[in-house]
Structure 1
Amino acid sequence: MTAVELTRFKAARRDDLLAARPAMLADFAADRKGFRSARLVQLANDEWLDIVEWETSEDYAASSAKGPNLPGIAAFFAAIDSLVVAEEGVLSPFA
């Protein structure tokens, strides 16, 4: 089943965050086994929700263990002020 990473964070530097996003996605596609897609949602009060789909829960765990190992990923993470919550779920077959 498809694993879903839900990460809510604060980032006041909107322009920096959005400028770093394409390189982060390219690095994920090149370096993260099982990466399927990612959607970024802007919420109120400088909060954001990143919804990332992985082929398996193991792929998500392996990605998390790598951290910001490439420049595009590091630049995106650097634009984040603080983590609010990170959760993992499974995509419903009835989505």
Structure 2
Amino acid sequence: MTTVELTRFRVSPERAGELLAARPEMIADFQADRDGFLGAKLVRVSAEEWLDIVEWRSSADYAASRAKGANRPGIQAFFALIDELVSAEEGTLS
């Protein structure tokens, strides 16, 4: 079953453009370096709150990705724009 990563975070509204500009490079790094990465969607929940929905082939792939952290420049640049992590959850598509 496909694993879904749900990460809610805050970014100051003034940096929203930077966040969106950093997104393609972050996705490219995930595609190049993260086995089991299937895709991601970014949802703006409010002026400063965002929800990142990432699909993984398996829970093990998601765990391996988390262990790598921000190991590539595109991922680092995206993560650096996050002011606050609100929540991180894992679920399964049925």
Alignment TM-score, normalising by the size of structure 2: 0.96
Q: CA deviation at 1:44?
A: 1.2
Q: CA deviation at 1:14?
A: 0.2
Alignment equivalent of 2:18, drawn from 16, 19, 41: 16
Contiguous gaps of at least 5 residues in structure 2: none
> What is aligned with 1:5?
5
Matched residue type, 1:36? L
Q: Percent identity?
A: 67
> What is aligned with 1:38?
40
Root mean square deviation, CA, Å:
0.6
Alignment equivalent of 2:83, drawn from 81, 84, 87: 81
Q: CA deviation at 1:39?
A: 0.1
Q: Matched residue of 1:28: which SS?
A: helix
1:57 correspondence with 2:56: no
Q: Matched residue of 1:4: which SS?
A: strand
> What is aligned with 1:68?
70
CA distance in structure 2 between the aligned counterparts of 1:5 and 1:34, rounded to whole angstroms: 12
Paired residue total: 92
Alignment equivalent of 2:50, drawn from 29, 48, 51: 48
Alignment TM-score, normalising by the size of structure 1: 0.95
Q: CA deviation at 1:45?
A: 3.8
**Runs (4+) of structure 1 moved beyond 6 Å?**
none
